[in-house]
Amino acid sequence: MASRPLSVMVLAAGEGTRMRSATPKPLHRLCGRPMVLHVLDALAELPIGKVVVVVGFRSVDVVKAVQAEAPPELQIEFVEQSRPLGTGDAAAVALTAFDEGADLADGDLMILPGDTPLLRPSTLAELVRTHRESDAAATLLTARISDPTGYGRVVRSKSGNVARVVEHTDANEGELEIDEVATSIYCFRHGVLAPTLRRLSPANAQGEYYLTDTIAVLDAAGYRVATFVAPDPAETAGVNDRAQLAAAEKVLRGRLNDRWMRLGVTMADPGRTYLDAAVELAEDVVLQPGVILEGATSVGPGAVVGPDCHLVDCTVGPGARVTQTVAHNATIGEGAVVGPFAFLAKGSRVEPRSATGPFARIEFDEDRQ
């Protein structure tokens, strides 16, 4: 993959009206982390030179969140799309952040939306690899699904080249039978993107410039357009409303729990264990059903947490036993026993090898600080 320079555009300017929220869609959280950060986490595992994030609605909030939590290995710049004129316009705005030069002209440019938090790094790497091996001007990540209703269909020429993407409402009877659908994820040869975007037209019901129209423009100009079919169609799903947000979080939580179990953590009921992405667990930790660990919570070796605990930004020492407890920014010492039905106030501390007893309420003690 290091044969040519690789840059990325992340389109995160949307308001997300279907979320019915004052929070910008890219900042809705999954496993305690803003949605757009999950996309950037996947990108951080690829050899990328620059990432340009396109912001729009409440841009200051999105920029602050990304700057605060983005993987440090990514070189990120921001551009603002002042008016929501479509994904094609967003890509054109993002191009202004790239300096002209041979490296960019000969390099590749991946474009993906900031609302696809389930993408795996391996899928993105295969997209780029397919793009380079096929020597295509553009490569589209596609998916094959049993019910493609509502999705844009990938229409191919007789030679097998991708000719265009047709929206469901515009598809004829034959095109509706196509089960290969377009995602919003592309890899372009950098040098062809700018002239292609200049040929887009907003002659559609929304009056917007659509990035999907670049496929027909490239085909008409004689360029090769390739595809890579996602191994798991669910990876490419965008999050547009609260129901889809919950579904995506369930998938991410399953991945996270599976990772921790493979690292030596016991979960009595993974389906009832909820961990934020920033949580840290040591070997031989046991999590009983109904455990919710949020923020920067860490649990030491051999500790048992649960059932029914909600800990936020807490430290649990080695060998501690915490049962039916709610705590925020508390420290539980090594070998301590907390609960059942305990409440630990913000900043409180349970001393090593001590026991709170049932129905305890531990307050912050300034004299200990």
Per-residue pLDDT, 102: 46
Give the pLDDT confidence of 56-92 residue by residue, as tens digits.
999 999 999 999 999 999 999 999 999 989 999 999 9
**269 and 229, same structural domain?**
no
**203 and 131, same structural domain?**
yes
Domain assignment of residue 339, given as a range: 263-368
Per-residue pLDDT, 151: 84
- CATH number of the CATH domain containing 362: 2.160.10.10
Please check whether residue 241 lies inside any domain of the structure.
no
Q: In what order do the strands lie in the sheet with 315-316?
A: 280-281, 298-299, 315-316, 331-332, 349-350
pLDDT at 331 over 70: yes
Note whether 261 and 270 are within 8 A (CB).
Answer: yes
pLDDT at 368 over 90: no
- Indicate the helix (H) or strand (E) that contains 259: helix 242-262
pLDDT at 128 over 50: yes
Q: What is the number of domains present in the chain? A: 2
**345 and 278, same structural domain?**
yes
Note whether 80 and 59 are within 8 A (CB).
Answer: yes
Phi-psi region of 349 (alpha: psi -120 to 50; beta: other; left: phi over 0): beta
Per-residue pLDDT, 343: 97
- Indicate the helix (H) or strand (E) that contains 246: helix 242-262
Please check whether residue 173 lies inside any domain of the structure.
yes
**178 and 32, same structural domain?**
yes
According to DSSP, the residues that pair with 309 across neighbouring strands are 291
Percent of the chain with pLDDT over 90: 81
Please check whether residue 244 lies inside any domain of the structure.
no
**267 and 156, same structural domain?**
no
**310 and 208, same structural domain?**
no
Task: Return the higher-pLDDT residue of 367 and 314.
Answer: 314
**272 and 230, same structural domain?**
no
- CATH number of the CATH domain containing 52: 3.90.550.10
Confidence class of residue 100 from pLDDT cuts 50, 70 and 90?
low
Per-residue pLDDT, 206: 75
Give the pLDDT confidence of 2-24 residue by residue, as tens digits.
578 899 999 999 888 999 999 99
Collapsed DSSP state (helix, strand, coil) of residue 172: coil
- Rounded CA-CA distance 156/308 in Å is 54
Task: Return the higher-pLDDT residue of 145 and 308.
Answer: 308
- Rounded CA-CA distance 196/302 in Å is 58
Per-residue pLDDT, 207: 80
- Rounded CA-CA distance 239/257 in Å is 21
Please check whether residue 53 lies inside any domain of the structure.
yes
